[in-house]
Amino acid sequence: MRPNHFKMKTLLILPCLLLLTGCGTSLPSLKTVEKVDLQRFMGPWYVIACIPTFIETEAYNAIENYRLEPDGTIDTVFMFNKGGFDGSFKRYNPRGFVVDRVNYSTWGMRFVWPFKFEFLITYLNSDYSQTVIGRNKRDYVWIMARTPQIPDADYQSLLKELSDQGYKITKLRKVPQHRPAL
């Protein structure tokens, strides 16, 4: 029986191609904020805009709420309406883990055990009213605020910062918010 040469070539070439796809220009690691006061960071955050995950592509009224647990983990509630302001209500409860215990700005977020999703606090204004959460891969990012809207000048400034960090801001989706401030 003759070996299938096409199959053997494919088995040899495929791993090489997979290696080469990871050899593109890599972006530098994102710089996280210098220090996060976890107690001040806790509470509700409105999602103003994001490069969405598959569950967020039709999110309206998206809010993420954090609560620090006695064991140091972060109880997280992510909720939104799917497809419109009156759309079906969705709620997810990932668990946050502070990875960097020096400045508290690098977390892991677990939606499904045992996987932790990288969660980097790359921007936080001094009054803790606006934040940006990103990932080194630049595949997802969230602009969040304590209020349902932020001034356009602030939004444009954050877009410029994200662009400078290597994000494709054309992928950002502004999340419609139609709730009163909490």
* Amino acid, res. 140: Y
- Closest to 175 measured CA to CA, from 76, 69, 90: 90
Any idea of the CA torsion for 115, 118, 124, 130, to the nearest 10 degrees? -60
Q: How far apart are CA 155 and CA 144, in angstroms?
A: 10
What Å distances lie between residue 120 and 47, 95, 131, CA to CA?
Answer: 15, 15, 10
Instruction: Tell me how crowded residue 105 is: count the other CB atoms within 10 A of its CB.
Output: 24
pLDDT the model gives residue 6: 41
Determine if residue 164 is left, alpha or beta; phi over 0 gives left, psi from -120 to 50 gives alpha, anything else beta.
alpha
Q: Averaged in consecutive runs of 10 residues, what is the pLDDT profile of the chain (182 residues)? A: 46 39 66 96 98 94 97 96 96 93 91 82 97 96 98 98 96 90 60
Tell me if the bond preceding 114 is cis, omega within 30° of 0: yes
The tokens of 85 are what?
């302001």
Phi/psi of residue 177, nearest 5 degrees: -125, 130
| Structure-token match 């990288």, residue found | 118
The predicted model scores a pTM of 0.83
d(CA 72, CA 82): 31
For residue 35, how many other CB atoms are within 10 A of its CB?
A: 10
Q: Which amino acid is at 157?
A: S
* Domains of the chain as residue ranges with CATH: 38-174 (2.40.128.20)
If residue 134 lies in a helix (H) or strand (E), which one and from where to where? strand 130-134
